Structures are given as C-alpha cells and as structure tokens.
Amino acid sequence: MTTLQAYRFAPDAHDIQAAALSRHAGAARFAFNRGLARVQAALAQRDAEKTSSVACAELTPVPWALPALRREWNWAKATAAPWWAECSKEAYSAGLDQLAGRPKHFGDSRSGKRRGRRAGFPRFTKRGKSRDSFRYTTGSHGPDGDRHVKLPRIGRVKVHEPMAALTGRPADGTARLLGATVSRTAGRWFVAFTVEVDREVPTGPSRRQRKARTAGVDLGVKHLAVLSTGEMIPNPKHLAASLRRLCTASRAYARSKPASAGRRRRAARLACIHARVASQRRDGLHRLTSRLATTHDAIVVEDLHVAGMVRNRRLARAVADTAMAEVRRQLGYKTGWYGCRLVVADRWYPSSRTCSGCGGRNPSLTLSDRMFVCPSCGLVIDRDVNAAVNLRSLVAASMSETVNARGGDQKTPLAGQVAVKREPGTAPAGKTGGASPQGEAA
Ligand SMILES: [Zn+2]
C-alpha cells in the first residue's frame, strides 16, 4: 500500500544556520507579498478596463497560477530583490506556491463553488505575525546520516533525535522523498519530510496478536475514550492543566507596550505554552490511535459533529481540549496502515439511549446521568460503556455490505436498519437512509 507520510524532526541549528533559516522564511514571505501585490494590481487594472467606456480587446491577465507567478518573479528578481542569490531559489518558489490559486479559492468560496470554511482574499504576510515556512521540492535536500539533514544553501544541520524511522526506508527502496517543509512554531524550527512510503499492511493470521477483535469506541469529555471492553481512557485535559499559566502569560502580554521588546518576549512565552499544550495533546492522541489500530480487527466510532459541539459556549473549551475529531482523523488512516477496519456509525445513531442488553430505549436519559438504567430489562451500566457496546454491535450489521474489508473508512448508514431490527413494533424507517434523526430527537 502506497501512502504519503510526513516525518517531522526538530533541527538543532546553530546561530548561523538559524539565521539562514529565518532568511529563507523571509525570502518566501517576500516572494508571496510581491506576487500578491502583482495579482492585486492586475485585478484593479482589469476592473478599470471593465468599467471604462473604451472597449478593450483583451482584459489584463491575472497571474495567479504558479507558472505565471514564477515567470514574473524570475523576470523581475534582479531588480526587485538584488539579494535573491543569498537564498535557495526554492524559498521564493515556496512563497509563490503558497500564493498560487489562493485568489481563485477566494472567488470560488464566495460564489459557493468551493465547500468548507470561507476562504478570504489572501492578505499580505508580516514578519513576526504570519507563520514562517518554506519548502524544498528539488535539489539535494534530505537526511544526511542518522543525525543530520542537508538543506540547500543552509547546510548540514544537526537534528535533535535520530531519524532511523525515516533513514532506513529509502535505503531498502520502500520510500521516495518528495520534499521537505521547514517551518517555525513558537520559536522552534521543524523539518517535515514528505515521503511516499510503500507500507506492508499486515494481513491474515500472521498479523500481530490482537487482544480483542472488535472495539466500540465512545469519545467524550468525561473520559477521552471509553471502549466496549469497559476500559476507560482518562481525558488528560492538557489545556485545563496549563490554563492558569496561559492566563498569566496572556495578561502579561496584553499589558505590555505595543512593539516593545517586552511584548516580543511575552508573545514568545505565550506561544511556548500553547505549543506545549498542543504537543502534549498530539502525543497522547497518537499513542491512543496507534494502540487502537494495531490491537484490533475493527473499530467503530461515532460520526460526531464536533464543529457543532464547539459552538456551544459552555462545552466549547472542554470539547476543543479533547480534539475528538482528530482521533477520528487519525483512526481513518492508521486503520488502513495496520490492517484494521474503521466503521463510522451514523451521526444520528442513538448509541447513548439504546440499552446494550435488550435493545430498548431510554429516551429520558440526560447528559448529566452517568449511569444508564434500562426501564425494560433493568440493566444498570455506565453510560459510556453502554454506548461503546452499542457501537461495537454495529460491526456485525456492516459486515454484509462492506465486503472490501480492510483499510476503508466506511461510512455506514446503519441507524435505520439497526433501529428496525431492534424495535419490531415500529414501521421500517430504513428507506429514509441514515440521515433521519431517530430516537435521539425524541
Ligand atoms: Zn434493557
């Protein structure tokens, strides 16, 4: 199985190298801003041509595709940036690449052609405000031995940890290096190698030992995850743990004098705390999802509407701190890597309100009830374990229709079918597909 993977390392650059890294990021920013100015000028020109009474045979072309931007840059760089040779040409390319297509995305987003979050018209980037990054796609970049990376025009830079996970791969022909992105987060530089990797997906009985074949996973705020086996993975609440420090640092930053050395120092401190929280969270989630994907044959999760939950201001901080959508995203690709199957239960499947013992419903269950008490069979079970067990039961129902087995992230419109199977008294609602809110809305 061929996948794209990123291997990220932290270079331990000495002062001269760190300055070169900053300079390259600045070069990318310069090319971006200059390109954006050209695009804006061309758009303004075109507007003027459209409204003028003199009919123009041809409107001014807007250089917003990468080849046009690069052609223009190469033509103008000797006068616009006489110092351009100090940095790798890849840096300027990277800046133009960041710009390419963005004005078009803005237009498509505004006219509704592009889905997702509204894209704004690109804005000029500013040193110290915008993210520092540039990318190598050609030239002799890559790992140099186990503890160094080589970056054109910057040199051979030591990295903080051994790169055995990456360096072993190109040697045995299972990987191809496609590029390297260098970026700075909270004052620290990172190099991320994009690698096309040929992964061997474990199959059949030779596959590593698996404790349980199938697990239902209920994600939540009280516990980060509750498995159908009854195992509860605590929510580490990294943000909550650092909140006091964040408050202090934010206040200090807000009270500092604008554009002062003190403000820069305090901004760096604040960024460090945020970056630390993000790193802790990322580490925990990767450990969790790797463990789930390597020790199971199939995993069932709910298709949670996390963006909607974050809109609830009382829940927003706690929900965002758990990063439930990220768990789902990571499981999406890791299940494929490790020969596990991911089943995503429908958003409206009433996993919490259904009894895992008899299949009856308890519509009176509220968010504050930690225990599920079944009105028909008297089962008393932890609310989240009950939900996880219900989720696990969906795998059997999805088996018949997903013959292609491993690796897929299959969305199962199961809510209807399962509800019909469990409640013989009700009319078959399966025809309406998975989109109908059943039970949970009651
Ligand atoms: Zn029951």
For residue 419, report the distance from its CA to the centre of ligand 1, in Å: 14
207 in a domain, yes or no?
A: no
pLDDT at 181 over 60: yes
Which residue, of 173, 198, 223, is where some domain finishes? 198
The secondary element (H helix, E strand) that includes residue 3 is strand 2-9
**Whole-number pLDDT of residue 399:** 54
For residue 180, report the distance from its CA to the centre of ligand 1, in Å: 55
440 in a domain, yes or no?
A: no
Tens of pLDDT, residues 124-139: 999 988 999 999 999 8
Q: Do 139 and 265 sit in the same domain of this protein?
A: no
Q: In which band, very low, low, confident or very high, does the pLDDT at 359 lie, cut at 50, 70 and 90?
A: confident
pLDDT at 409 over 60: no
**Residue-wise DSSP of 397-433:** HHHTT-TT-TT-EEE---HHHHHHHH-TTSPP-GGGG
Q: What is the mean pLDDT of residues 187-194?
A: 95
Which two three-digit tokens encode residue 310? 């974050």
Q: Do 46 and 146 sit in the same domain of this protein?
A: yes
10 in a domain, yes or no?
A: yes
CA distance 349 to 356: 13
Distance of CA 92 to the CA centre of its chain: 26
415 in a domain, yes or no?
A: yes
Q: Do 293 and 218 sit in the same domain of this protein?
A: yes
Tens of pLDDT, residues 141-156: 999 999 999 999 999 9
203 in a domain, yes or no?
A: no
Q: Can you list the alpha helix ranges (DSSP code H) found in 112-150? A: none
Q: Do 259 and 144 sit in the same domain of this protein?
A: no
Look up the domain containing 247 and give its range: 214-435
SS3 of 316, please?
helix
For residue 360, report the distance from its CA to the centre of ligand 1, in Å: 5
Q: Do 40 and 156 sit in the same domain of this protein?
A: yes
Q: Can you list the alpha helix ranges (DSSP code H) found in 82-144? A: 89-99, 102-111
Q: Do 239 and 192 sit in the same domain of this protein?
A: no
Q: Do 245 and 183 sit in the same domain of this protein?
A: no
**Whole-number pLDDT of residue 369:** 83
Q: Can you list the alpha helix ranges (DSSP code H) found in 238-339? A: 238-254, 261-294, 306-309, 316-322, 324-337
For residue 348, report the distance from its CA to the centre of ligand 1, in Å: 20
For residue 377, report the distance from its CA to the centre of ligand 1, in Å: 4
For residue 234, report the distance from its CA to the centre of ligand 1, in Å: 27
For residue 384, report the distance from its CA to the centre of ligand 1, in Å: 15
SS3 of 7, please?
strand
What's the structural domain count of the chain?
2
Q: Do 168 and 229 sit in the same domain of this protein?
A: no
Q: Do 221 and 326 sit in the same domain of this protein?
A: yes
Contact in structure between 123 and 40 (CB atoms under 8 Å):
no
Active-site residue numbers?
218, 302, 384
For residue 204, report the distance from its CA to the centre of ligand 1, in Å: 36
**Whole-number pLDDT of residue 416:** 36
CA distance 98 to 87: 17
Which residue, of 164, 198, 232, is where some domain finishes? 198
Tens of pLDDT, residues 51-75: 877 766 778 888 889 999 999 999 9
250 in a domain, yes or no?
A: yes
Who wins on pLDDT, 441 or 394? Answer: 394
414 in a domain, yes or no?
A: yes
Q: Do 188 and 233 sit in the same domain of this protein?
A: no
Q: In which band, very low, low, confident or very high, does the pLDDT at 419 lie, cut at 50, 70 and 90?
A: very low
Q: Do 286 and 380 sit in the same domain of this protein?
A: yes
206 in a domain, yes or no?
A: no
Q: Do 189 and 262 sit in the same domain of this protein?
A: no
For residue 433, report the distance from its CA to the centre of ligand 1, in Å: 26
CA distance 342 to 381: 25
Which residue, of 198, 231, 250, is where some domain finishes? 198
For residue 303, report the distance from its CA to the centre of ligand 1, in Å: 24
For residue 127, report the distance from its CA to the centre of ligand 1, in Å: 61
Which two three-digit tokens encode residue 173? 């022909």
Distance, first Cα to last Cα, the chain: 44
Q: pTM for this one?
A: 0.82
For residue 418, report the distance from its CA to the centre of ligand 1, in Å: 15
Tens of pLDDT, residues 191-250: 999 999 988 888 754 455 555 588 999 999 999 999 999 999 999 999 999 999 999 999
